[in-house]
């Protein structure tokens, strides 16, 4: 297992940070006040069968972390060999008043690939997180392999969002993804997303503080969530920089 750590903590009027990792390497992009920007870079071709990545993201009180993936993730496999699935786990912990924006690029599960993926989010009072994730079954012309993806988010009141997706590219299931091979999502926790143009997407406002937007389709570039993400992320960035001045 390869562990990647991205940790931001308040220090005086600014922020201290810890960045470590091998399979996924975090690189500092910028730091301004208590706002830190970090890029996540693949250390090599990944994910290969049996690769396991464990990301531990911690944002301290009053700090803001902006994460961006550099290059998407491709899950490879070898036909008929019964390889161990690849694993990807992210554990996100937000202290009071912390903010996280994570722009994830597409994760593609090839025809022979198998991925077990999980995200755990803990949101303290006054904290918020905005995540973008795009899951794609197969490269162009492929049906895609096996995927299990879980999300478990809680705040001080209890569960915010718990969901699980389990699919196989060559066995489409009605009521899950159907014939779609792309699931593009924006997940906002700790606050409600403002009204947006929801043409072609599904919106769910959670019982607690949070909103999900989701697109199902055949191609990631057809998703309306790209422009919505750029608008929402840009607004959050402007707010952060205004506070940092």
Condensed to tens digits (0 to 9), the pLDDT of residues 51-62 reads: 999 999 999 999
Q: Are the beta carbons of 9 and 62 closer than 8 angstroms? A: no
Length of the chain: 245
**Residue at token pair 């795009």:** 134
**pTM recorded for the entire structure:** 0.91
Domain range list for the chain: 2-244
Please report how many Cα atoms fall inside a 13 Å half-sphere around the Cα of residue 163, on the Cβ side. 9
Condensed to tens digits (0 to 9), the pLDDT of residues 85-125 reads: 999 999 999 999 999 999 999 999 999 999 999 999 999 99
DSSP state letter for 159: E
Residues lower than pLDDT 70 in the chain: 80-82, 172-176, 178, 232-245
* Extended strands (E) in 105-221: 107-109, 114-123, 128-137, 146-155, 158-168, 182-189, 202-205, 210-217
Rounded distance, CA 35 to CA 230, Å?
Answer: 18
Question: 3-state class of 23 per DSSP?
Answer: coil
């Amino acid at each position: 297992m390869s562990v990647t750590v991205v940790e931001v903590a308040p220090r005086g009027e600014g922020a201290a940070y810890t960045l470590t990792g091998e399979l996924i390497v975090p690189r500092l992009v910028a730091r301004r006040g208590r706002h830190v920007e970090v890029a996540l870079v693949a250390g090599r071709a990944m994910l290969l069968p049996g690769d396991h990545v464990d990301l531990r993201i911690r944002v301290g009180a009053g700090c803001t972390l902006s994460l961006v993936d550099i290059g998407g993730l491709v899950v490879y496999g070898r036909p008929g060999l019964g390889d161990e699935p690849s694993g990807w786990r992210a554990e996100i912990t937000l202290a009071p008043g912390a903010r996280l924006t994570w722009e994830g690029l597409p994760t593609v599960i090839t025809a022979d690939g198998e991925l077990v993926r999980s995200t755990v989010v803990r949101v303290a009072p006054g904290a918020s997180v905005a995540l973008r994730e795009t899951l794609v079954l197969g490269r162009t012309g492929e049906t895609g392999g096996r995927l299990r993806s879980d999300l478990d988010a809680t705040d001080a009141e209890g569960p915010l969002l718990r969901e699980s997706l389990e699919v196989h590219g060559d066995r489409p299931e009605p009521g899950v993804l159907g014939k779609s091979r792309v699931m593009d999502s924006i997940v906002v926790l700790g606050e409600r997303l403002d009204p947006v143009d929801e043409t072609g997407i599904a919106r769910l406002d959670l019982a607690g503080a949070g909103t999900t937007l989701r697109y199902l389709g055949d191609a990631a570039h057809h998703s309306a969530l790209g422009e919505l993400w750029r608008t929402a992320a840009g607004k959050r960035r402007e707010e952060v920089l205004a506070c940092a001045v």
